[in-house]
Structure 1
Amino acid sequence: MSGKPRLHYVNARGRMEPIRWLLAAAGVEFEEAFLETKDDLKKLQTNGDLLFQQVPMVEIDGMKMVQTRAILNYIAGKYNLYGKDLKERALIDMYVEGLADLNELISSNFFQPADKKEEHLASVMDKAANRYFPVYEKVLKGHGQDFLVGNKLSRADVQLLETILLVEESKPDILAKFPLLQSFKAKTSNIPNIKKFLQPGSQRKQPIQEKDIPRLMQIFH
């Protein structure tokens, strides 16, 4: 072991992507072990490496951690991205859970019938514009600070930027009515560790293509 966290997942975004983002924002180098076939997953399951028989799994600090939220909580706490007290942590958790809900809606579009995809995506973009992003615009306006909680970068900011960029892939003008989110995006994108992660050739994953879905389904089902 190199001492670096080792991430076990497919070579795609999925549930591992926010973990990659958070490690990168914390300036932590990590290694990846990609699952290429169903046998790769079965091997981890047979070896007892997966507590609930599923990935993501991250080897870190002598642990084999599973469950995305648990992994993110640990990384955020370890690298001082989780607020200064319980109240700040509660706010961060609320903001992150809202973003997780939106991310689930976006991800579910891949599994819609072909003739329903466009309609479903339009519904998701409507929710992003009218239910989710107004919350974060209001938070930033309410306290007039650069970050969501405690005027300091937290996991909530990292996940908000990740989600903004994700939504913009489908609707580039999504932030048109959100000047504070536009400013937030510009500032957080230029934080050195994040800026590095956004450069070509980083470990950030590209959008899943339709042609990739059968291969991924074969591994997981």
Structure 2
Amino acid sequence: MAVPQLYYFDLRGFGEYIRLLYLDNKIEFEDIRYNIGGEEWPEVKKKMIFGQMPALKHNGQEIAQTGAILHLNGSNEEEATFLGMFFEGVRDSRMKYVRFIYVDEETRENLVQKTLPEHLANFEKLFKIHSGDFIIGNKTNYADYILFEELDVYHHLDAKILDKFPSLKAFWERMWKRPNLKSYLEKRDADRVFINAIEKGLD
């Protein structure tokens, strides 16, 4: 059986949530990356659903949209709803960051000192609702990977940003140590893989 093919740009962005989930769960996949501004993507774009990435192709089927690709629900309807709420909350936080990076919507100081901490305070409260090492219990779900990637991105902005949120910081540190992720994450940092199409505010 052919392995899934994940299509995204050669940066972290939204595709990184899926890569982390697949790597951590030992799901074999082909990581197909396109250079920003390269000649290949405009032609590939014409053939993609919605003309955007990430996209996943497997056994003749194409799936678009990050959430649809990641979607591994909780064990019951209540957990599934909770995970969906957490996932969308993290995406809202990400959009604040994205607007800072690409459209100068606010200053770096305001983002780090006010906007992101407000979101992190909400995530800290939600994280404590269920006991265990992850958002729900002691088994990872798709929302854990988007949360981890966002915490790692924010840590690049400010190394102390997680200090006031002990549950989130412990989770972030725990994810970094997961055997199936550790070497990938270390190599990613060593290679200085871009988080965004531009590396603004990450000195």
TM (norm. structure 2) is 0.82
SS at match of 1:199: helix
CA 1:41–1:190: 2 relative to 1, 3 Å: same
Q: Whole-Å Cα distance in 2 between the matches of residues 204 and 22 of structure 1?
A: 20
Match of 2:82 in 1: 91
Aligned length: 197
Q: Which amino acid aligns with 2:26?
A: G
Q: Which residue of 2 aligns with 1:54?
A: 52
Q: SS where residue 128 of structure 2 aligns? A: helix
Please tell me whether the aligned partners of residues 106 and 121 of structure 1 are also in contact (alpha carbons under 8 angstroms): no
Give 2:125's match in structure 1, choosing from 121, 138, 145: 138
The amino acid of 1:42's aligned partner reads P
CA contact (8 A) 1:21 1:204 kept: no
1:174 positional shift: 0.7
The alpha-carbon distance between structure 1 residues 161 and 34, as it changes in their structure 2 partners (threshold 3 A), is closer
* SS at 2:170 equivalent: helix
Residue 191 (structure 1) aligned with residue 189 (structure 2): no
Quick check: 1:17–1:204 contact (8 Å CA) kept in 2?
Answer: no
Aligned to 2:140: 153
Aligned pairs for 1:196-215 (under 5 A) are: 196-200=183-187, 205-208=193-196, 210=198
The match for 2:40 is 40
Aligned to 1:18: 17
- The 3-state SS of whatever aligns with 2:43 is helix
If you compute each CA radius of gyration, which structure gives the higher value, 1 or 2? 1
More helix by share: 1
Note closer, same or farther for the CA distance 1:45–1:162 as it changes in structure 2 (3 Å cut).
closer
Residue 129 of structure 1 is matched in structure 2 by: 117
Q: How does 1:68-83 map to 2 (within 5 A)?
A: 68-73=66-71, 77=72, 82-83=73-74
Displacement after TM superposition at 1:45 (Å): 4.2
Structure-1-length-normalised TM-score: 0.76
Is 1:28 matched up with 2:9?
no
Matching residue's letter, 1:59: K
Distance of aligned partners of 1:88 and 1:211 in 2 relative to their CA distance in 1, 3 Å threshold: closer
Distance 2:89 2:33 in 1: 29
Distance in 2 of aligned mates of 1:204 and 1:83: 34
Secondary structure of the 1:198 match is: helix
Question: Structure 1 stretches of 5 or more lacking a match?
Answer: 213-221
- Please identify, of 193-202 and 173-182, the stretch whose mean Cα deviation from structure 2 is larger: 193-202
Of 162-171 and 50-59, more deviation after overlay is shown by 50-59
| Structure 2 letter corresponding to 1:35 | Y
Distance 1:110 1:83, change over 3 A: same
State the identity %. 27
2:65 aligned residue: 67
- Aligned partner letter, 1:40: E
Q: Any conservation in 2 of the 1:7–1:30 contact (CA below 8 Å)? A: yes
Q: Secondary structure at the match of 2:51?
A: coil
